[in-house]
Amino acid sequence: MDELIRQNRHITTREIAVELSISKGTVRHIIRRKLGYGKVCAEWVSKHLSEIQKTARMGVCLTSSFYTEAIHSLPRRWDQCINVKGDYLQLYCST
């Protein structure tokens, strides 16, 4: 089953069940409990990542525009924090 998933990370539990002639419930149990996979954006991804793999995934997620916007907003945010009069509140909304 692990080999089927590694060959095609978009494979469905139904396709695996048909291929191996077992129930979908058994497939789900094996995939999640025994192999440690979870579905992310319709693709099977191992939940057991090394620290290097976790760092690499974060690097992909955070684009250069994220860093550029953060750097450019620092002076304004610093000024607002220093000159706070009890009425400053900033909410961060990820888009």
Which one is predicted more confidently, 83 or 75? 75
- Is residue 34 located within the same domain as residue 63? no
12 sits in which H/E element: none
**Residue 31 and residue 46 in one domain:** no
Residue 7 belongs to domain spanning:
1-38
Q: How far apart are the C-alpha atoms of 56 and 54, rounded to whole Å?
A: 5
pTM of the entire predicted model: 0.45
Is 21 in the same domain as 50? Answer: no
Q: Which pLDDT tens digit goes with each residue over 5-60?
A: 889 888 889 999 999 999 999 999 999 888 888 776 666 677 777 888 888 777 77
Shared domain for 13 and 52, answered yes or no, is: no
Give me the number of domains the chain comprises.
2
Res 20: pLDDT: 94
Cα distance between residue 28 and residue 16, in whole Å? 10
Q: What are phi and psi of 10, to 5 degrees?
A: -95, 5
Looking at the fold, whether 43 and 63 belong to one and the same domain comes out as yes
pLDDT of 92: 61
Same domain, 15 and 56: no
Please state, in angstroms and rounded to a whole number, the distance separating the CA atoms of residues 21 and 27. 10
